[in-house]
Structure 1
Amino acid sequence: MKFSLQGKDTKSNARAGLISTDHGDIETPIFMPVGTQGSVKAVHMTELIEEIEAQIILGNTYHLYLRPGLDILERAGGLHKFNSWNKPILTDSGGFQVFSLAEIRKIREEGAEFRSHIDGSKHLFTPEKVMDIQRTIGADIIMAFDECCPGDADYAYAKNSLALTERWLDRCFTQFNSTEPKYGYQQSLFPIVQGCIYPDLRKQAAEFVASKGADGNAIGGLAVGEPVEKMYEMIELVNDILPSDKPRYLMGVGTPINLLEGIERGVDMFDCIMPTRNGRNGQLFTRFGTMNMRNKKWADDFSPIDPDAHCSVDTLYTKAYLHHLIKVEEILGLQIASIHNLAFYLWLVKEARKHILEGDFSSWKSNMVIQLSNRL
């Protein structure tokens, strides 16, 4: 994998770059639609390419390991062949999912023991096993196995958690470097900066991660309950340390405003379930603010869903029709809302990139944040 910087904002740390993988190029800053179980919920691959213009999608190690399982994925030739997506894929290591299984998992030095949320069967994720699983899934970018520390953890817990994550990271690199990709193309391992909301721990973690010389680096353990101001503070601190010639990936974040604030602070890559999850609940994101399509005010509004037309559904259907579909829980409504939101997110990062290259990102971003804050 290669990364090249193509432009930088003069008034902030925002930058535009290009990530090159064996499955194609990715223009940054970029948002990655979440395809947890091998598909982006309610969205066809053709829509991802033609309507949403996605350049990379995310899969999840925990879910794909449980279903369909590694045997099926390997026999298919990897996730790219299995789901017919021929562009780059990134896999989350499953650390966050294990973190979310607080009642049915145990963390110890060897790894994380957990029970499946599907059938209660017992499993053990070690750093070595997670590297092997992701080799089998076949993602272009794979993530180190870490412990995702709760946003409200006390200092002692966060310190011990980070120490464990760093020991696990060494084991991840040892296993990664002693194995080869299975399907004839290269894979890159991204380590993850943890440390909760404690500046000294984040600094220690960023320095440790930077010392690994990886193809790219990730920032984890944010947007998990901490105040948003703390999240931005931690991003700034970490990005001052992580190498500027490698892509920086902020995991699991977030709202459109979060994306712009992250870009301003030097983040290149984002993922979040919000555009599809919120879309399935009737919330649309637009450049002028958010719309709750369940509200009665849209029942007789026969104007296009979004006159900005980030995708064809924005002008093909009216607000009144989408309101009706959402209210009666028609599957088509979930599809329309998901496609619109993802297309908007991809439009937003593409616009950010354009304004970085044109040299007016900071003023554009300030105006856009005001607009995005509205509730329509």
Structure 2
Amino acid sequence: MKVLVVGKGGREHTIAWKLSQSKDIEKVFVAPGNDGISIENKCECLKIESIKEILNFVKNNNIDITIVGSEEYLANGIVDKFEESNLKIIGPSQNAAQLESSKIFAKSFMKRHNVQTASFNTFIELKDALEYSKKASYPLVIKADGLAAGKGVFICNSYKDSTQALNELMKEEKFGEAGRKIVVEEYLKGFEASVFLLMDGRNYKFFNVSKDHKKLLEKDQGPNTGGMGAITPHPDVDEKLTKIIFQKIINPTIKGLEEEGLLYKGFLYIGLIIENDEPFVLEYNVRLGDPEAQSMLYLLKSDFSDIINDIEEERVNTTNIEFYDGFSFCLVLSSEGYPFSYAKGERITIKPEITSKIFYSGVKKDGEDLLTNGGRVLSIVNKANTLEEARNIVYEEAEKIHFKSKYYRKDL
């Protein structure tokens, strides 16, 4: 089989690497990818980015199936274009992708189908949002409606905070079109969990639940990021809580997708916050998360290409999903200044005795050297029988990687 993975970050590197391990996979192309991915066996990155270019490549090179990692392509309708040409692709239609590309669409969906979530209000006018925030109870959460690479969420402790956030989103248009409409919701205090389901357009299957760390700074302080690390399985989600998650979140979500004709072939990520043993949905994503993908797929024992084929053939309910025992720990190394401004072009050096797996996010080649080329530069992943052991290995090996502005959280 020849496979194409669409996207360019650590998630796409992980998908490509896991597929390349299958004896049934001849070649994995990644568009546009990054120079770190091309190091992998069987993997080749393509310097193409537009949906039209990607579609033409698939048609002209007998690609068996395409897997979309990046949310932007899904929001822009890549799946619809492929299906018009009768090409096999894993991902939601543009309509179903609104579960991620529009917070207002997602929250309204949750309300219609009794999926437990925080109470909320939506606004399209700055003056109305400011007026509401004057009378609101604090803290509260303000979210950009559209895609903002995981950064369009503000936790506001005062009217001053909310005024600043609303002005950044709706007046200064810091996130462009994404922030012209907003959601204001009640603040829930608890721990977060990332639940992943496999869907084939008719059936679904539980995949795993991970612990993500979105805040930049230690003790979960600072701005939101795309994610600073992940643990699989989630150490705080037990069997009892999982049953409640199925009852109050997963089952009504799937029922709602069926009723609205939004079931699709791919992955559904349900971001939860657990407050007083009750799960509430923070967001839906319609693809694998990053860095959760790095943590989950590193721990996956089953052949990932078999799972992908079962999704395509609409038999995911019978697919074999097996994970290694123990825990997988993923730590993101970023450039200092991320998620705002940061340096690029710094040389990355890695000591040869490193045993952990490295997945690259923001890098480029300069001769034989790899240079930093993004906010999140790479992820280090390893597994062990205990979480403490996996964590210790990864933190030790983080010291074996160097670039000038290296930053990572030390408290995951």
TM over 0.5: no
Bigger fraction of residues in helix = 1
Bigger fraction of residues in strand = 2
Higher relative contact order (CA 8 A, sep 6+): 1
